[in-house]
Amino acid sequence: MATGPVEEERGAWNPRGIAFVAMLSVFPAAVLHALNYKRLGRPDLLRPTLVRNLVVALLAYAVVPFVGLAGTELCVLWIALLHIAGAVYCQNSQFVLFMKHVGRGGKEASVAAPAFGLFVLFGVAFVLLMMAARTLD
């Protein structure tokens, strides 16, 4: 599938950059990973990937209190493994498409600005969620 001129001008994000973001936080990486499919010329994969990525990340975090991991060393290990798995997935699932994109003369865009924006967005959402949970006590 071909992309429009706007997508070609913006370039695609290197999956290694998205993997680095996943090591810091899986939620911004989940969004960047899905959006990158559009930049790589596969807009048909954007929505299903976004839904799958966010559902898997939410479920992986939701498991923690239900299996008694909250506040334990196993919780830290579980979260670390989640971030590592997310990084490996983000890099490996798009690497071939990215290399084809670059091979065709496609541009590479920096992931720094959108990642920072998503960190802020998810950070604010987390703080608001915690404040709301406190008022329910």
In this predicted model, what pLDDT tens digit does every residue of 58-97 receive, in sequence order? 998 888 777 777 778 888 888 899 999 999 999 999 999 9
**pLDDT higher than threshold 90 for residue 101:** yes
pLDDT at 8: 52
In this predicted model, what pLDDT tens digit does every residue of 122-136 receive, in sequence order? 888 888 888 887 887
In this predicted model, what pLDDT tens digit does every residue of 10-63 receive, in sequence order? 799 999 999 999 998 899 999 999 999 999 999 999 999 999 999 999 998 888
Domain ranges of the chain: 5-136
> Which residue stretches of 25-72 are H helix?
26-39, 46-66
pLDDT at 5: 47
The span from the CA of 23 to the CA of 83, in Å, is 5
pLDDT at 121: 87
Q: What mean pLDDT comes out for the span 109-122?
A: 88
Q: Which class for 26: exposed (0-12), middle (13-18), buried (19 or more C-beta within 10 A)?
A: buried
Q: Which residue has the tokens 């810091």?
A: 24
